[in-house]
Chains A and B, each alone.
Chain A
Amino acid sequence: DAGITQSPRHKVTETGTPVTLRCHQTENHRYMYWYRQDPGHGLRLIHYSYGVKDTDKGEVSDGYSVSRSKTEDFLLTLESATSSQTSVYFCAISESGRANIQYFGAGTRLSVL
């Protein structure tokens, strides 16, 4: 999966608890993304980063925050998890430039009970 490691791969948590998902890349790519995948919705962008400490919101950012303190790491935090955040979360990376290609990690399956 293109030098992308997502951790954990599976997590079960309870409503109201904080959760942090990690994405680590070894490709030194500038851009990093967090998506969620739900049946009937495809993939939806949560947040993305265009450089260290540079992040922006996607289409479904409410309830999520992100941080990128190093090129290789992009963290997604659910401050207080809700059942509606049960999903499969994918991290992606890309280089800058036209005709961009996003490379996806293997995903994290999160269940909020």
Chain B
Amino acid sequence: QQQVKQSPQSLIVQKGGIPIINCAYENTAFDYFPWYQQFPGKGPALLIAIRPDVSEKKEGRFTISFNKSAKQFSLHIMDSQPGDSATYFCAASEDAYGNKLVFGAGTILRVKS
């Protein structure tokens, strides 16, 4: 049973659009929520991360929104570009050091030019 449920499985947007990827969890002990980006043939790479004491975090065109009461968090990509086409994974950890990560199933994003 997936501890972190991610949706949608795949997403196609036009260049400049704002894709939104959602994740939900049940374990209230989770306290670290990173997002990873993976290009074909490569390993995942950390994109942005948030802790539950804040409701939003922005880094460049990437924003995480976090709703602790609903146990949901989401990734928004502003002004999406074809180079953002990749697979995105949300993850969570109850280890304060973020060591034992539990990943969502992934979302394949395609940004059309």
Contacts and interface: CB of A to CB of B under 8 A. Distances in A.
Q: Which of B2, B42, B101 has the most CB of A within 10 A?
A: B101
A40 B105 contact: yes
Q: Interface majority SS on B: helix, strand, loop or mixed?
A: loop
A106 B98 contact: no
A44 B89 CA distance: 12
**B interface bracket (residues with beta carbon within 8 Å of A):** 20 to 34
B44 interface: yes
Contacts of A45: 100-102
Contacts of A100: 32, 97-99
Interface in B1-56: 2, 4, 6, 32, 41-46, 49, 51
Interface in B73-113: 89, 96-106
A43 interface: yes
Contacts of B97: 96-98, 100
Given A98-B97, A99-B98, A100-B98, A42 B103 contact: yes
